[in-house]
């Protein structure tokens, strides 16, 4: 990821330029349309203009405007998160970021530089190690319209229009779940969410997951790894190629560990085409059978992976009836759900649509555990709304400032470890390791440096 493309003001300035340029080109009949190559037509350009205009008018996103405290510092204001690590929940904004980054990487490689890190905590950038240069000099300011101006806006706008077309013409939803996979009663499940940024700290999380798998191999454990969704910015194939698969802890050709991937909202911002046709087509994900919902089962547990993104923060049919059928068909098994979106939260709105879809299943009080991502933090919840062990593990790879202040209800515990970089307190990334032992599950929450921050028993 390029630092400037992670700055809200930088992105919005270019959105304004691109929208104005695109509208002028369309009005003057200067848009080159190549349906055979891109499938983009005049209507797609018109709708792209409208979507960019709407995106530019949106207020800053609440979850990205938090500031780190300026404790004991005078005359200094800490940087806003969305001017450091801007990963929007708006589809068009994310598509613009994808197109901008592709433009700089393919058309203006002369501007890109990568910082080298020695490996110590202080030497590894909290966000990204890739920057843009101006006249051979690194600049921190985002207000560099002249030097960073897009010299080929038509090329960028064609990418944006193509992405917007794909987002509106989503990949067909596969209504058939993957065939159930039987796992051992003593098995290991590694969970990571919102990991697909590819930045150095996310890569380090991948290395720590690999280390955990190597330990499991030495112990003779059967192991399974699940990504709970989101490859940034908008789920283009090149983003899976650059940010997820190269660092996935299961290497190509390794068949002793299975791989699984839930669908996330960023995966769907370009229509989910690369998620279904590229990621799930990788041989490591073969057992998922190109379906976005799946099940792993043993004598004591059924682990049900859900797609809460095809219908954003909802549950596309027939998943709700599938879950209810699983509960009826396995009255003696405990049930664990996996998803990208949260059923409830101590920090954000949302979850009502998902909760309504699963009202029948939740009313049974048999959802013993539910792990999700989406919010970029690690929170353990009290028993709440029919879920006994609700756990958010969305801290896999998106840089955020650590939460401070009282712990909101219904949260029970939150991992708030951080490291300092200037004034900012950056929350540590991490992942979860679930070791199943019959009806009991030992859960460890491990940070990006391989340290166990919290351990609990789920029963």
From first to last of its 459 residues, the chain has per-residue pLDDT tens of: 999 999 999 999 999 888 888 887 777 765 654 444 567 788 888 899 999 999 988 889 988 987 766 554 445 566 789 999 999 999 999 999 999 999 999 988 988 988 765 444 446 899 999 988 754 455 544 444 444 578 888 888 889 999 999 999 999 999 999 999 999 999 999 999 999 999 999 999 999 999 999 999 999 999 999 999 999 999 999 999 999 999 999 999 999 999 999 999 999 999 999 999 999 999 999 999 999 999 999 999 999 999 999 999 999 999 999 999 999 999 999 999 999 999 999 999 888 999 999 999 999 999 999 999 999 999 999 999 999 999 999 999 999 999 988 999 999 999 999 998 878 899 999 999 999 999 999 999 999 999 999 999 999
Residue from 393, 179, 182 nearest 288 by CA: 179
Q: How many domains is the chain built from?
A: 2
Residue with tokens 């005049």: 42
Output the pLDDT for position 30.
59
Q: Is residue 27 part of a domain?
A: yes
Q: Is residue 175 part of a domain?
A: no
Residue 442's φ and ψ, nearest 5 degrees, are: -95, 120
Of 118, 141, 168, the residue that ends a domain is 168
Contacts (Cβ under 8 Å, ≥6 apart) of 373: 193, 194, 228, 229, 230, 264, 340, 341, 392, 393, 394, 396
Bridge partner list, 305: 294, 338
Residue from 49, 51, 55, 50 nearest 18 by CA: 49
Interatomic CA distance for residues 313 and 342, integer angstroms: 8
Of 168, 194, 213, the residue that ends a domain is 168
Same domain, 190 and 157: no
Same domain, 449 and 411: yes
Output the pLDDT for position 361.
96
Same domain, 393 and 304: yes
Q: Widest CA span of the chain, in angstroms?
A: 68
Output the pLDDT for position 32.
57
Same domain, 38 and 65: yes
Same domain, 98 and 133: yes
CB 193 within 8 A of CB 54: no
Output the pLDDT for position 33.
46
Same domain, 315 and 351: yes
Same domain, 363 and 245: yes
Q: What residue numbers bound the domain in which 72 lies?
A: 3-168
Q: Is residue 176 part of a domain?
A: no
Output the pLDDT for position 43.
85
Same domain, 93 and 127: yes
Output the pLDDT for position 428.
97
Q: Is residue 55 part of a domain?
A: yes
Residue from 387, 427, 428, 382 nearest 404 by CA: 427
With b meaning 16 or more CB within 10 Å and e meaning fewer, what string describes 366-390? bbbbbbbbbbbbbbbbeebebbbbb
Same domain, 119 and 53: yes
Contacts (Cβ under 8 Å, ≥6 apart) of 358: 315, 320, 323, 343, 367
Bridge partner list, 389: 369
Output the pLDDT for position 38.
61
Q: Is residue 357 part of a domain?
A: yes
Q: Is residue 173 part of a domain?
A: no
Output the pLDDT for position 145.
44
Output the pLDDT for position 18.
87
Same domain, 146 and 239: no
Output the pLDDT for position 118.
45
CATH code where residue 195 lies: 3.60.21.10
Bridge partner list, 336: 303, 369
Same domain, 13 and 147: yes
Q: Left, alpha or beta for 214 (phi > 0: left; psi -120 to 50: alpha)?
A: alpha
SS3 of the chain: the string is: CEHHHHCHHHHHHHHHHHHHHHHHHHHCCCCCCCHHHHCCCHHHHHHHHHHHHHHHCCCCCHHHCCECCCCCCCCCCCCEHHHCCCCCCCHHHHHHHHHHHHHHHHHCHHHEEECCCCCCHHHCCCCCCEEEEECCEECCCCCCCCCCCCCCHHHHHHHHHHHHHHHHCCCCCCCCCCCCEECCCCEEEEEECCCECCCHHHHHHHHHHHHHHHHHHHCCCEEEEEECCCECCCCCHHHHHHHCHHHCCCCCCCCCEEEEECCCHHHHCCCCHHHHHHHCCCHHHHHHCCCCCEEEECCCEEEEECCCCCCCCCCCCCHHHHHHHHHHHCCCCEEEEECCCCCCCCCCCCCHHHHHHCHHHHHCCCEEEEEECCCCCEEEECCECCEEEEEEECCCCCCCECCCCCCCCCEEEECCCEEEECCEEEECCEEEEEEEECCEEEEEEEECCCCEEEEEEEC
Of 168, 198, 226, the residue that ends a domain is 168
Q: Is residue 343 part of a domain?
A: yes
Same domain, 303 and 451: yes
Q: Is residue 315 part of a domain?
A: yes
């Amino acid at each position: 990821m390029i630092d400037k493309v992670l700055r809200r003001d930088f992105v919005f300035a270019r959105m304004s330029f691109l929208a104005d340029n695109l509208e002028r080109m369309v009005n003057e009949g200067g848009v080159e349309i190549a349906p055979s190559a891109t499938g983009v037509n005049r209507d797609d350009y018109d709708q792209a203009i409208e979507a960019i205009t709407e995106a530019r008018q949106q207020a800053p996103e609440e979850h990205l405007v938090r500031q780190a405290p300026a404790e004991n510092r005078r005359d200094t204001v800490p940087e806003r998160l969305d001017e450091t690590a801007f990963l929007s929940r708006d589809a068009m904004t994310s598509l613009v970021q994808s197109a901008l980054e592709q433009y700089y990487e393919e058309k203006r490689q002369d501007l890109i530089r990568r910082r080298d890190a020695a490996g110590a905590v202080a030497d590894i950038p909290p966000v990204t190690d890739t920057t843009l240069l101006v006249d051979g000099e690194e600049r921190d300011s985002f207000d560099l319209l002249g030097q960073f101006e897009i010299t080929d806006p038509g090329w960028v706008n064609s990418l944006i229009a193509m992405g917007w077309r794909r987002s509106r013409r989503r990949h067909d939803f596969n209504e058939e779940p993957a065939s159930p996979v039987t796992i051992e009663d003593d098995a290991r499940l590694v969970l990571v969410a919102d990991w697909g940024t590819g930045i150095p700290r996310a890569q380090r999380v991948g290395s720590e997951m690999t280390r955990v798998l190597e330990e499991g191999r030495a112990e003779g454990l059967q192991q399974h790894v699940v990504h709970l969704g989101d490859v940034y910015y908008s789920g283009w194939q090149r983003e899976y190629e650059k940010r997820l698969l190269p660092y996935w802890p299961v290497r190509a050709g390794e068949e002793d560990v299975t791989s699984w991937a839930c669908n996330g909202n960023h995966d769907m911002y370009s229509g989910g085409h690369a998620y279904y046709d590229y990621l799930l087509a990788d041989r490591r994900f073969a057992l998922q059978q190109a379906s976005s919902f799946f099940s792993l089962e043993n004598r004591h547990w059924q682990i049900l992976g859900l797609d809460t993104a095809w219908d954003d923060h909802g549950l596309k049919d027939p998943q709700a009836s599938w879950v209810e059928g699983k509960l009826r068909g396995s009255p003696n098994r405990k049930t664990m759900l996996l998803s990208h979106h949260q059923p409830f939260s101590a920090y954000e709105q949302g979850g009502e649509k998902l909760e309504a879809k699963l009202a029948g299943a939740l009313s049974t009080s048999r959802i013993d555990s539910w792990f999700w991502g989406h919010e970029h933090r690690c929170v353990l919840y009290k028993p709440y709304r029919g879920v006994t062990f609700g756990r958010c593990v969305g801290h896999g790879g998106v840089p955020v400032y650590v939460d401070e202040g009282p712990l909101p209800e219904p949260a029970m515990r939150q991992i708030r470890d951080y490291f300092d970089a200037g004034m900012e307190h950056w929350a540590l990334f991490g992942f979860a390791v679930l070791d199943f032992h019959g009806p009991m599950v030992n859960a460890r929450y491990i940070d990006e440096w391989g340290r166990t921050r919290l351990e609990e028993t789920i029963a």
